[in-house]
Amino acid sequence: MSGVKLFSEHGVGNGRTGQPGAFRVAPAIVHVYRKNKHGIVYRLYMIDRRLTVLRALARHGTVTAAAEVCHLTPSAVSHQLQALARELDVVLLEHTGRNVRLTAAANTLLTHADALVAGWERAQADLAAYRSSTITGLLRLCGFSTAGAVLVTAAAAQLQEQYPHLTVQVREAEPERAFGLLSARDADIAVVVATPGMPSAGDPAFDQYKLYSEPLDLLVSSNHPLAVRASIALAEAARDAWIAGTPGTAYHQLVLLACASAGFAPSIAHYADEWDLGAALVARGFGVALVPRWARLPSDYPIVRIPLSEQPAPMRHILAAVRAGSSYQPAIAAGLDALREIAARKREDAAPDGETLGHTSSEP
């Protein structure tokens, strides 16, 4: 930003080192000098940044992971937590080999930190009533690939049309990463698929809202023996080779959970995180796969979707998550409303546009 200089009450620096002459944690107040006119513009952090670092360490488990989500170096994370412990006169971390563990005092502090952050988010929502009714600023959406194609981009387009002064930014992210982006304030709304590894519904750091659920179908090649079936039990594919997502991804977890519920562990022969590759592998006879009903697949592949006969059928549950207390801030509330509207319209369709269950195409 040409002609702009940033200063803090504690000196000038990059906010990372904690050394004299640099920001010890973050500038409490940012001063902007433009054309020799000085004014205090805003407070960068209303809540001690060190609490954010502590919350990141608690959520992600290691100093390195906390540093990544907080955009700091590992040494800066350690320095900030040491400074916080000295200031509070309590022990926050215990070393266990090469790792660290939170003490009882740290967990007590985290409870208060969660309440402080949620309270500040609610305060911002309440104060919005005293400003212009025009929704402005930046709204950052993130979501995994399928949700991005089906929901997030449609919601972003609707928001840009309804609120021309609002800037919407979209980022692709797996659920675990999406919650980290929310915590680090790098995203405002995350669209995620429910998996065992995500924060619980009662996690005080987030508010979660169900958007929709969709059944999972078995995807087979057109010359597979099961391709002629109107529906099947998932266990009938237990002896097939399987195609699943990379271990650790939401899709990989969904496949394992669905197969375990059907009474078997899948023999995974290939890994594909994108539907194009997964569908191509199925079309060439390399295995079978589970696909969500709304997943868009190439229309010219010789593949067949087969509904599963299990009751209840294996489902994928899609949620919207925000930082606790933030859902009534105008831009975030508008984003949640747009996602709900798009999801409601999508629920009227049993399958993606132009695609029907049991449809066989020609060549991959």
For the chain, domain boundaries? 5-42, 49-128, 136-212+316-346, 215-314
Mean pLDDT in residue range 197-218: 91
Mean pLDDT in residue range 303-316: 91
Query: Whole-angstrom Cα distance, residue 241 to residue 110?
Result: 46
Which conformational region is residue 175 in: left (phi greater than 0), alpha (psi within -120 to 50 degrees), or beta?
Answer: alpha
Phi, psi torsion values for 206, nearest 5 degrees:
-135, 150
Query: Whole-angstrom Cα distance, residue 188 to residue 140?
Result: 5
Q: What is the per-residue pLDDT for 45?
A: 55
The answer to whether 295 and 276 are in contact (CB under 8 A) is no
How many Cβ atoms are within 10 Å of 358's Cβ, its own excluded?
15
Q: What is the per-residue pLDDT for 349?
A: 61
> What is the DSSP code (8-state) at residue 354?
T
The answer to whether 214 and 294 are in contact (CB under 8 A) is yes
Task: Report residue 120's pLDDT band, with 50, 70 and 90 as the boundaries.
Answer: confident
CATH class of 49-128: mainly alpha
CATH class of 215-314: alpha beta
Q: What is the per-residue pLDDT for 134?
A: 84
Whether the pLDDT of residue 11 is over 70: the answer is no
- 305/114: higher pLDDT: 305
Same fold, 136-212+316-346 and 215-314: yes
Query: Whole-angstrom Cα distance, residue 319 to residue 214?
Result: 12
pTM over 0.75: no
CATH class of 136-212+316-346: alpha beta
- Which residues contact residue 208 at a Cβ distance below 8 angstroms, ignoring those fewer than 6 apart? 199, 201, 319, 320, 321
Task: Report residue 296's pLDDT band, with 50, 70 and 90 as the boundaries.
Answer: confident
Q: In the block, which residue shows the tokens 């022990």?
A: 91
Query: Whole-angstrom Cα distance, residue 127 to residue 212?
Result: 31
pLDDT digits (tens, 9 = 90+) for 216-255: 999 999 999 999 999 999 999 999 999 999 998 888 999 9
Q: What is the mean pLDDT of the chain?
A: 82
Read off the tokens for 279: 């569908």
DSSP string, 243-296: EEPPTTSHHHHHHHHHHHHTT---EEEEE-SSHHHHHHHHHTTS-BEEEETT--
pLDDT over 90, % of the chain: 47
How many Cβ atoms are within 10 Å of 322's Cβ, its own excluded?
23
What SS3 class is residue 166? strand
pLDDT over 70, % of the chain: 83
pLDDT digits (tens, 9 = 90+) for 154-180: 999 999 999 999 999 999 998 888 998
pLDDT digits (tens, 9 = 90+) for 56-66: 888 888 888 88
pLDDT digits (tens, 9 = 90+) for 276-293: 999 999 999 999 999 998
